Amino acid sequence: MENFIVGYPSTESAFRSALARELGARRSEVLLASLLEAFFGDKDAAFLAAIGVNSVRIPLNYRHFEDDLAPRELKPDGFAHLDRALTACRRHGLYAVLDLHSLPGAQNHHWHSDNRVHRPLLWEHRDFQDRAVGIWVALATRYKDEPWVAGYNLVNEPADEQRHRLGAFYRRLATEIRSVDPRHVLFLDGNRYARDFECFGEPLPNAVYAVHQYPAPGALPGEGYPGVTAGRYYDANAVAAEFDQMTAFMRANGVPTWVGELGPVYTADAKTNAGRRQLLADQLRLYNERGVSWSLWTYKDIGVQGLLRVGEGTPWMRRTVEARRKKQRLGADSWAGDTSQMEDVMGPLLTRLQNEFPRWDPYPFGPSSQANLLVRHMLFAEPLTEEFAKAFSGASEEELVELGRSFEFSSCRIDEALADVLHEACTQQGPALAN
């Protein structure tokens, strides 16, 4: 889970911990198991197949497969959830790409790798790397003969500041996986959040190199699309130029490219949304013209990016409404968060940082991003996580199950305009995927 998808602040593990404190370990698992079962099932797979999608990228948290207090002891529940999702895919002719979205120690600096601090410790501790290798060997051993698994997306959005460690880790993962599964495709995200491929050496065999392209007008305030965002004019030509720059390694080495993630953030403004759907259409047209496969982020959420949006009248949305309003007011989300009501905090802080440390340029995205990560997305988000968990206080076991079922296909609204964009792109060319 990423926080904007279901609504909690901070990280998945922080939310799970807060929920366990509020409800108790067993009852919190009742809620979360219900949510996972409801989030993707037979009706979801049937719908995606009907609009022309031929694959889903399934994001996995390593914590589904082992606990930090019991490393290397594989948990059957994680495999059971994945088997259920794969059964739905198989039944409706959808290939699946297994995406390890969160690795032990965290592969990048941010919440979407379930990183509760702000350092990607995977790159600093051999034991974290060993555990990640073990999980991938277990997955490859289990699914080596599964034809509906298209392949393995080894590390989602890695961020290796030293740049040389990622390539070595990929080579190690490939060797270990190939020892048990010589056939499935390996999908390799570029460094710096699937943007930078210059640190790669000789391409690996039977591998696809994955870029994530999120042009600024799809997420940041500006004139709209086409128009100026963050001081730059964006139109279809600018998006194509950005894509060409990001994929120079693939063209130079004659290896296939996969756009592992793309997708705008949608707002309450109809004009903004129309421009962002046009941006998405232009991206998909570009990829199809180049013969590049792509995967939309994301399939289902509570109203940010999803093709399906959880209904406002569902138990989940009703119970969490006040906590979500406070989260919006505090700008506690990085993705689609509103910073306007936090200027009294962030404005003076950023000014002071600039005055005191004018040369400070922290990896990966600079001073403003770092300050917001530490203050909005961690300091303010941590106590807010406790408040979000309290929204479920007093729920009976039956109510907990119904809360999870808020994410069932029948409880969601299809974004028909977005579905039309995807359907058109899927009929232009075959390689359409969804996360």
Report the DSSP pairing between strands 412-414 and 308-310.
antiparallel
- Which tokens is 183 given? 């056939």
Partners of 258 in beta bridges: 210, 293
Q: 156 in helix, strand or coil? A: coil
Token digits of residue 162: 């030293």
Q: Show the tokens assigned to 155.
A: 């590390």
Alpha carbons 310 and 435: distance in angstroms, whole number: 16
- Burial (Cβ within 10 Å: 0-12, 13-18, ≥19) of residue 181: buried
Neighbours of 91 (CB within 10 A): 13
Burial class (CB in 10 A: 0-12, 13-18, 19+), 215: buried
User: CA 303, CA 417: separation in Å to the nearest integer?
Assistant: 14
Q: Is the four-CA dihedral 13, 19, 24, 25 of positive or negative sign?
A: negative
Report the candidate in 113, 99, 200, 103 with the shortest Cα–Cα distance to residue 150: 99
For the chain, the first-to-last Cα distance in angstroms comes to 11
Class of residue 248 by CB neighbours under 10 A (exposed 0-12, middle 13-18, buried 19+)? exposed
Query: In angstroms, rounded to a whole number, what is the distance separating the alpha carbons of residues 28 and 18?
Result: 9
User: Whose CA is closest to 251, among 295, 205, 292?
Assistant: 292
Spatial CB neighbours of 208, under 8 Å, sequence gap ≥ 6: 151, 185, 186, 187, 188, 255, 256, 257, 258, 293
Measure the CA–CA gap between 230 and 212, rounded to whole angstroms: 19
Nearest Cα neighbor of 296 from 56, 122, 116 is 56
Query: Pairing state of beta strands 207-212 and 293-296?
Result: unpaired
Rounded CA separation 30/402 (Å): 10
Active site residues: 157, 261
Which candidate, 74, 76, 130, places its Cα nearest to that of 105?
130
